[in-house]
Amino acid sequence: MRDTRISVLYYPDFSPAKNTLKKAILLFDELHVMDRPSFSFAGLGGTIGAPSPLRGWDAKFRQEGFPLYVHSAPMGQVTGELYGQVQADVNDPEFLRRFQLGLKSSEGFRYLQLPPGNYGEFGDQDGITQKLTTVDLSTELKNYGTATALFEDQNVHLFRPADSLSCAKSLIFHAVMCSTKLNFALSETAKRGFVPLADARPYGDLLGTKYTRAIRKLEPAKNKIQLTDLMFTIFDELVPTELLEKLDFPDVIRYRKSSEKQREAFLEHLAVLHAKQDPFGTDSDYAAEIDKLITTEIRPAAREFRNKLQTIHETLFGALAKGVIGAPVVLGVLGHLSLGSLLTASGVYVAKAALDAILADRAARRECSISYILSLDE
């Protein structure tokens, strides 16, 4: 049995997207979210705070069986240690490169940094994205030395699309806001024993740059992939988004309750993977390390499991074809029923071989800890 609960803190925004919330219900022991924080930087702008849309619904989710908690967010000027962490991020060229690439490559990440709207002279979200993802930071920072030096230069205005230096400062501004939320979340997870959770791949890339810097000070064995990043990547590999979109929240919570043992098996499996994971070095790609785990550990197990089910299902439906009265017509109707409905349908005769296959099916599912998420797409 697991010796620790997996309590996650969602940090990109004050409420996860619907599919992210559904995944969290199906996977984690607890989910924590924050109101939108109100951060400010002296004379340099900041964020506007707002209550989470889940505030007021959290008690209902807990009542229905899923531990969801909403926390108040910090307010005030970013100074001291937190600003030092932000400076370390945005003064790292690799952090800025990955942030810029994330805006270009990930719709989810882009939405969290630059929500659709009217950006004045930039135009819409596409217009500002085009400007921020094509500005050459190496050229614009030649006279500044560091990105935060440009960020703190109040003589350079934000959001002037005709001015390349202004575009560079605008990009750094958004990277600063993202880094502030990221570092605050990491600080809170360390204090409260949470695991940080994000639902756009560029966040993992940004964490990778922080790990790369940290590995210079820490033992290499501590440089491992976040468990939540690994779990969501596996889930996305195996469960189609279309399926989640068809489920409403009461359905998802019912599924969580009815599959508690399978969820535990899946989390046990992930905990073992996490424990035996080889540390990766400063020259490694965080996302590539996740892909490697998927290729070497998850896909083979999933393939073996699916092969077992395929053999079992061939036995099952082959036997039913012989044992069901009026097979061609009846099977056409029964094909739309679940396995449980199939066994209880009036007037259907199930051969012994089919029952043996059903028992084998259940045994195969017990053998594979990934069966929990594989079963979602059936």
CA distance 152 to 78: 13
Q: Are 364 and 305 in contact (CB under 8 A)?
A: yes
pLDDT at residue number 367: 63
CA distance 284 to 212: 8
Beta bridge partners of 40: 46, 77
Phi, psi of 70, rounded to the nearest 5 degrees: -115, 130
Count of CB atoms within 10 A of residue 228's CB?
24
Count of CB atoms within 10 A of residue 193's CB?
11
DSSP state, residue 122: G
The closest of 309, 307, 340, 343 to 324, measured between CA atoms, is: 343
- For residue 34, the surrounding DSSP H or E stretch is strand 30-34
Q: Are 140 and 168 in contact (CB under 8 A)?
A: yes
CA distance 265 to 310: 22
- DSSP-derived 3-state class of residue 98: helix
User: pLDDT tens per residue, the chain (378 residues)?
Assistant: 566 788 888 888 888 989 889 989 988 899 999 898 888 887 677 778 889 999 989 999 999 999 999 988 878 888 888 888 889 999 999 899 999 999 998 888 898 888 888 877 777 888 888 889 999 999 999 999 899 999 999 898 888 878 899 889 999 999 998 998 888 888 888 788 888 888 887 887 787 777 667 655 544 445 566 667 777 777 776 677 777 888 889 888 988 888 888 888 877 777 777 666 666 555 566 667 777 777 777 767 666 656 665 666 566 555 444 444 333 333 333 333 333 333 333 334 445 555 566 666 666 666 666 666 666 654
- 285 Cβ contact list (under 8 Å, min separation 6): 208
Q: Domains of the chain: which residue ranges?
A: 7-214, 221-378
Work out whether strand 75-77 and strand 38-41 pair parallel, antiparallel, or are unpaired.
parallel
SS3 content of the chain, % helix, strand, coil (to 5): 60, 5, 30
Q: CB burial class (10 A; 0-12, 13-18, 19+) of residue 160?
A: middle
CA distance 279 to 81: 27
Phi, psi of 195, rounded to the nearest 5 degrees: -115, 130
The closest of 227, 225, 229 to 199, measured between CA atoms, is: 229
Token reading at 344: 């209880």
CA distance 104 to 286: 18
Q: Are 121 and 159 in contact (CB under 8 A)?
A: yes
**How far, CA to CA in Å, does 39 sit from each of 34, 75, 76, 108?**
13, 6, 5, 22
